[in-house]
Structure 1
């Protein structure tokens, strides 16, 4: 999960916590279950976010055949010659299209991450009030199915995210549409990641994704094609985050933590270089769920405690600060 702001310090992948496991929840139990089942889901979601910063979702509406097709297209695209991919690079400061290998780093990291990626964003009409913030998407001409598949995946993950945020309104004691307003026409990004095989001689400090926290409200991540994702547990150890094919891994980001006054913390995570990483690619498709640009990140009253830790800020201003920190904006 890699739009990120965290530090690359203390990233020893050998220090792990094998006895704890991120909880797996059934989204259908919230969407279609009894009041008791819905209440259990809400409690488990809230406690999972507070305890781990992560949960795993099963029984959602993102179709497996869509995920399979998406991963197949990623493999096709990243197999193209670099010259072909570079035709789509540098578009709108990396907000859309292709970003080549070695461009992004975690905040405070002296080395780049070992990845390349493609961004798909929200489409709005030119007359829309947020049109100035949302560049038009671009699509690789070499893959005619790319636009339809990833536009559909964007919409499907957005709907799953809206259900998750609505469930959080109950323990946070805000109206059930509190987050609906924030994410309506939100600046969400679908990032299509490729972590290539790691060549011999690579700087040993480099990871596929150095330790970081996500910028946004929540991230919805279909299970990747290979292992490597870890979260930093509360005791400082690293815990493997495992999603089965078809499951969605969800984590809380900086914007949600800020709104919750850190009652729900933004959890540091990384993608480590597993033994198979020298010979095998890893593909991943995180959906970074953002508010609309004019939404104000303000402390939720029930989370205020002894006082708000953070000043109010617009989501757009916050995003720009973070993108500069990670090298995607100069």
Structure 2
């Protein structure tokens, strides 16, 4: 039997744990990886959020990508609209406040953010696939943002590697072979999203969502936030707790597909952002999800002799359905299960 805890009893955390994942990013023993996997398992049961250190990214690299994000969003709107996502078959590119095609009513209700959606490059020998965003990013001319594309492609490739390392950690946390979940991510679906929250008048900040309450869609998210704060997650008691920036860490959170895979043993947690600052906020989300053609069904080991709470879904179809909601409304897409939780 494994020494990884199997209880799904959730603790109402007041803060999100920090986990050193270095054993999954370099040489280590199986015992060292199992210890880290146990920490991940408990965090995923309790709240579905944890910080990671030991990920191999240097502080200078983390500062560089934030600086590049700020360079992009500082451009005039007309420049950013040259790579508008609505003109891209995969909806990659710049998304203004209000979604792909905002009107006055949509913009008034939309979250207060702009976004830049990118994805990874095609792997050697990989062919374009109409179900995958890989290889379909839009880029401004080099003279508009010198060095931007090369820097972002480099960081995206690093996060693809980190996502596969995390897939092994999640597998071991579920008492699966370490390559089990990684094998579903052989043609990793991913969106590298730069999220810009403009300065808000403090007198009205509490009435305007930067990112309204939602869950993420995929397997998990790798989040990099600047020093502004504003991110909150809802714990097992239904209380909103802060997930503040911690230097040289990423925030990892469970997405809907991993919750479905584990039959809610791991929780895809409601979270939200309010920028209460008179300065702009920037975060960078790397949304990782399986090969878009993969079928996701609850693991037998997570059923505990009970029927699954979920029907099997095709990864890409599930993601696309929720993204379509987001593109049309300027607010995040919400699954039926998430909508039920939001009503509580």
Q: Secondary structure at the match of 2:258?
A: helix
Measure the CA separation in 1 of the matches of 2:13 and 2:193. Answer: 31
Q: Which one is further off, 308-317 or 227-236?
A: 308-317
- Corresponding residue for 2:9? none
Q: CA deviation at 1:120?
A: 1.1
Match of 2:18 among 21, 24, 30: 24
Of 104, 116, 119, which residue of structure 1 is paired with 2:117?
A: 119
Find the counterpart in structure 2 of residue 285 from structure 1: 284
Relative to the length of structure 1, the TM-score reads 0.85
Structure 2 portions without partners, runs of 5+ = 1-11, 103-107, 331-344
Number of the residue aligned with 1:212: 214
Does the 8 Å CA contact 1:111/1:205 hold for their aligned counterparts? no
Spell out the pairing of 1:234-313 with structure 2 (5 A cutoff): 234-274=236-276, 277=277, 279-305=278-304, 306-313=306-313
CA distance in 2, matches of 1:19, 1:270: 17
1:324 paired to 2:319:
no
- How many Å separate the matches in 2 of 1:86 and 1:215? 26
1:73-124 deviation digits (Å, cap 9, x = unpaired): 111211111111111112326631100123289xxxx921110011111222
Match of 2:99 in 1: 103
The answer (yes or no) to whether the contact 1:214–1:266 under 8 Å persists in 2 is yes
For residues 100 and 46 of structure 1, what CA distance do their matches in structure 2 show? 37
Summarize the Cα distance change of 1:219–1:125 in structure 2 as closer, same or farther, 3 Å threshold.
closer
Alpha-carbon offset, residue 143 of structure 1: 0.6
Q: Deviations over 1:122-177 (max 9, x none)?
A: 22279845522336211122112111111111111222221122112123232221
**Cα gap change, 1:201 to 1:226, in 2 (>3 Å):** closer
The answer (yes or no) to whether the contact 1:125–1:131 under 8 Å persists in 2 is no
Are the counterparts in 2 of residues 114 and 208 from structure 1 also a CA contact under 8 Å?
yes
> Structure 2 matches for 1:1-330, cutoff 5 A?
20-31=14-25, 32-89=27-84, 90-92=86-88, 95-103=91-99, 111-124=109-122, 128-133=126-131, 134=133, 136-141=136-141, 142-199=144-201, 205-274=207-276, 277=277, 279-305=278-304, 306-328=306-328
- Cα distance in 1 for partners of 2:50, 2:263 equals 20
Deviations 1:46-73 (A, max 9, x none): 1011101101011111232222111111
Which stretches in structure 1 are left out of the alignment for 5+ residues?
Answer: 1-17
